[in-house]
Amino acid sequence: MPSLQRIKKPTTHRGKRALLRKEPQIIEDTKKAFFVKGKKTGPLLADFLKDLYALKRPDAAMLSRKNDVLPFEDTSFLEHHGRKREANLFAFASHTKKRPNNLILGRLHDYQLLDMVELGVEKYTAMKEFVIEKIGVGIKPCLVFNGDVWSQMHEYQRVRNLLVDFFHREYLETVALQGLEHVISFTAADGMIYMRSYKIFLKKSGQKTPRIEIEEIGPSADMKLRRTKLGSDDLFKTACKQPKMLQIKKKKNVTTDGLGTKHGRIHIQRQEIDKIQTRKMKGLKKTAAERKEERTVLKKRRADLAASGITSKRLRTEA
Amino acid sequence: MDIVNEVLQKAARDAEKFKPITVEKHLEVDLDPGNLLAFDTNEVEVAKLRSNSEEYLKNLTRDNVQILLNKVWELPTRRVEECVVVELPKPSYIIPRSLPVPKPREPTKWEKFAKEKGIVKTKKSKLQWDEVLKKWIPRFGYKKAAAEKEKDWVIELKGNDDPMEDQFEKKKKIKRENVAKNELQRMRNIAAARKIKVPQAGMVSADRLSSKDLHKAATIAKSSTASGGKFQASLPKEKPARDVRNLMPIAPPPKKRKAIITPADEKKTTINIIDKILNKTPRLDIEAAVNRELFNQDSERAEEKRSQKPKAGRGGKKKGGTTGGKKGRGAGKPQVARGGKAKGGKDAKGGKGGKQAGRGKGKRR
């Protein structure tokens, strides 16, 4: 029989809060990333890692030591560090003879590996090579994916999801129009993935919407997709499950037409208009004589029908 | 007409001055303004990409950003501190969560029970009027202990309380035990919520073991062999403890199911019982009767011998000791000892022993 695991009660309110914060939340914080160097990292990848770190700051941590691990053989290192740093995205750079300039991008779900892809960097230009004013820290970028491969191949679909996860930064309810100044584009064609990063300039167009001009700020990388380790569709589906609270309920009977007018459809029960009590007026009242006459007529009819075998109940319904 | 021409010309001049904001695409670009995403599913022109990749990629991206931001500029805006912000819709492109969706807390054993029984928690005031102290004291927490101390400077003994016992210490002990019990129950609830198996027999306190607990522990200990206790010797009529039966590696044979009792059956069994009692006839066991007769004769003979012996031998200092009195069986009884009449034990040398005992008692008296 296993012994009962000791569950320590937090002694301070601060400790309690810290523990509560670590528990799953309905609305989650921004995902954090950590950057790891492998046993050997060439200058190219070192620059790339640094640039990625600069793009992800402040939700990122750069591990300074070299680590002799092979993520495709053993993921425990990454899972351990993910848990330790509460980070769910990672980038791992290594350089070997077999796989030169190898960049591994991946993500964890519940501190277990979800997806991991290996990218061979063939050409790279670091951010420092571009002599242009850079963007601010922590800006939410626009992400552009070019190419039909992204939506056609399952592997690429997942890689696209991973890249969006890695670079989209955070969900925002509002964004300043002047803050839209960065775009990262990923183009998949010719068996390669081209990553480019540009600064956006909003120019006058004579209209409300500006004319967009872009200028490259780096990093720019030409990469080839190598090995992948993608989580099963089941796992991916469970990981994507949204809390019920956040799911949008479909509103019934409310529509908006082309002009933006809201229409509601109301269902009401049938109204018996002929029985409605309207304003009482003396003039419409039946006199005593009239009522008496009515009664006698009814009585007579009833007597006649009783003679012919029809009950009074039916008579009433017919009347 | 001049005015119209003028306006048109001006518009044309303006259009020349500014570059267009419209983009022509073969297939429509998928947009998710909530995440600022644009998915261009048009085929990439590989020839252009190969010949002049940088220029091509830049133009491609620019066009797609233009499409995306055209959409963003259509969204409702609002002014926040000198800055125009646009309200983004809910993102439609779903990204995995970092942790699973939180589950509601599992109800505790009490909560389950209360729900089943329809017990609703009633709100109690924090302060309570104390008749002894004549003031309001808190039910729990700050200043409760101080009030309690003030109140309980003396504790009355209840009916069967041991007067030598420290009642303050007893009260403290009860409190400590309650706290410990509560903690144990909390742990149990957590364990149940996390679906951890809790040892059933291992949780008894060491100072007070009931026979039930011991039975449980013995059952478990016995089944803790490699063969699951299959070859362990057992006492006659020994049964495994009920509560742990299902925890044992080799389950005992299933219990026979009792037939459902109908009123007719019940009547029959009751009548049988009554008949048995009322029609009781003495059982005649000849062998037993013979044996008893023989035993009686033997014991009578022995008694006679015993009563004769003292006269022939050392003689009794006490008259009472020699004469009749009760038969050997009553030797140990206090009333006999008091009278100094006791003689005899059950064994052959009973006479002697009885005498000694008698003498001893007599002396003390």
> How would residue B193 be classed by pLDDT, with cut points 50, 70 and 90?
confident
- What is the arithmetic mean of pLDDT over B220-248? 80
Residue, of A145 and B260, whose pLDDT is higher:
A145
CB within 8 A of B322, min separation 6: which ones?
B310, B311, B315, B316
Search chain B and give the residue with CA nearest A246: B90
Instruction: Round to whole Å and give the CA distance between A204 and A211.
Output: 6
**What's the gap in Å between the CA of A64 and the closest CA on chain B?**
24
Structure-token pair, residue A27: 């609305």
Residues of B in contact with A7 (CB under 8 A): 187, 190
Lowest mean pLDDT among A64-73, B22-31, B157-166, B194-203: B194-203
In the DSSP assignment, the letter for residue B332 is G
- Does the residue B78 lie in any domain? yes
* Three-state SS at A313: helix
Half-sphere exposure of A85 (CA within 13 A, CB side): 22
Instruction: Round to whole Å and give the CA distance between A35 and A87.
Output: 10
* pLDDT number for residue B358: 40
Contact yes or no for A159/A228 (Cβ under 8 A): yes
- What is the arithmetic mean of pLDDT over B116-144? 92
- pLDDT of A51 higher than 80: yes
Estimate the crossing angle of helix A43-56 against helix A154-167, to 10 degrees: 60
Instruction: Round to whole Å and give the CA distance between B325 and B343.
Output: 8
* pLDDT number for residue A153: 92
* pLDDT number for residue A62: 95
Plot region of A211 (φ>0 → left; ψ -120 to 50 → alpha; else → beta): beta
- pLDDT of A64 higher than 50: yes
- Does the residue B17 lie in any domain? yes
**What's the gap in Å between the CA of A165 and the closest CA on chain B?**
6
- What is the arithmetic mean of pLDDT over A236-249? 86
Best of A152, A178, A205, A240 to disrupt the B interface (most B CBs within 10 Å) is A205
Residue in A1, A147, A174 closest to B88 by CB: A174
Residues of B in contact with A108 (CB under 8 A): 98
Plot region of A309 (φ>0 → left; ψ -120 to 50 → alpha; else → beta): left
- Does the residue B65 lie in any domain? yes
Cβ pair B96:A145 closer than 8 A: no
Q: What is the mean pLDDT of chain A?
A: 89
Contact yes or no for A110/B99 (Cβ under 8 A): yes
Contact yes or no for B245/B228 (Cβ under 8 A): no
pTM: 0.64
Cβ pair B41:A150 closer than 8 A: yes
Residues of A in contact with B70 (CB under 8 A): 209
- Does the residue B46 lie in any domain? yes
* pLDDT number for residue B310: 61
Other residues' Cβ atoms within 10 Å of the Cβ of residue B59: 13
Cβ pair A171:B40 closer than 8 A: no
State whether residue B12 sits within 8 Å of chain A by CB.
no
- pLDDT of B320 higher than 80: no
Instruction: Round to whole Å and give the CA distance between B209 and A79.
Output: 46
Structure-token pair, residue B96: 């995995």
Question: Read out DSSP for B276-299?
Answer: HHHT------HHHHHHHHHHHHHH
* pLDDT number for residue B98: 93
Residues of A in contact with B247 (CB under 8 A): 1
- Does the residue B104 lie in any domain? no
**Domain carrying residue B53:** 12-86
- What is the arithmetic mean of pLDDT over A129-147? 90
- What is the arithmetic mean of pLDDT over B162-166? 88
Residue B99 is which amino acid?
A: L
Instruction: Round to whole Å and give the CA distance between B88 and B77.
Output: 9
- What is the arithmetic mean of pLDDT over B226-246? 80
Residue in A7, A24, A161 closest to B95 by CB: A161
> How would residue B299 be classed by pLDDT, with cut points 50, 70 and 90?
very high
State whether residue B137 sits within 8 Å of chain A by CB.
no
> How would residue A6 be classed by pLDDT, with cut points 50, 70 and 90?
low
Residues of A in contact with B41 (CB under 8 A): 147-148, 150-151
- Does the residue B74 lie in any domain? yes
Q: What is the CATH number of domain A30-231?
A: 3.40.50.10480
Domain limits, chain A: 30-231
Residue, of A124 and A282, whose pLDDT is higher:
A124
- Structure confidence by residue, pLDDT tens digits, A225-238: 999 999 999 999 99
Residues of A in contact with B43 (CB under 8 A): 147-148
- pLDDT of A133 higher than 90: no
Q: What is the largest CA-CA distance in chain A?
A: 117
The pLDDT > 70 percentage for chain B reads 78
Q: What is the mean pLDDT of chain B?
A: 80
State whether residue B76 sits within 8 Å of chain A by CB.
no
Residue in A172, A176, A187 closest to B57 by CB: A187
- pLDDT of A301 higher than 60: yes
Residue, of B154 and B352, whose pLDDT is higher:
B154
What backbone phi and psi angles, to 5 degrees, belong to A254? Answer: -120, 125
Half-sphere exposure of A108 (CA within 13 A, CB side): 26
* pLDDT number for residue B344: 41
- What is the arithmetic mean of pLDDT over A155-163? 95
Other residues' Cβ atoms within 10 Å of the Cβ of residue B144: 13
Cβ pair A176:B83 closer than 8 A: yes
Cite the beta strand spans of A71-219 per DSSP E: 89-94, 102-109, 112-125, 142-146, 174-176, 182-189, 192-203, 211-216
* Three-state SS at A9: coil
Q: Which residue has the tokens 């914060």?
A: A21
- Structure confidence by residue, pLDDT tens digits, B106-120: 999 999 999 999 999
Structure-token pair, residue A139: 């800006």
State whether residue B88 sits within 8 Å of chain A by CB.
yes
The pLDDT > 90 percentage for chain B reads 38
Residue, of B203 and A273, whose pLDDT is higher:
A273
Residues 241-270 of B with CB under 8 A from A: 247
- Does the residue B56 lie in any domain? yes
Search chain B and give the residue with CA nearest A168: B35
Structure-token pair, residue A143: 């992400």
Search chain B and give the residue with CA nearest A179: B85
How many domains, chain B?
Answer: 1
Instruction: Round to whole Å and give the CA distance between A69 and B105.
Output: 39
- pLDDT of B157 higher than 70: yes
Contact yes or no for A122/A101 (Cβ under 8 A): yes
The pLDDT > 90 percentage for chain A reads 64
Structure-token pair, residue B131: 């008749």
- pLDDT of B198 higher than 90: no
Contact yes or no for B303/B323 (Cβ under 8 A): no
Instruction: Round to whole Å and give the CA distance between B288 and B300.
Output: 18
Lowest mean pLDDT among A60-74, A144-158, B319-333: B319-333
> Taking CA A144 as the corner, what is the angle to CA A141 and CA A146, rounded to the nearest 5 degrees?
165
- Does the residue B44 lie in any domain? yes
Residue B114, classified by CB atoms within 10 Å of its CB into exposed (0-12), middle (13-18) or buried (19+), is middle
Is the peptide bond between A219 and the residue preceding it cis, with omega within 30 degrees of 0?
yes
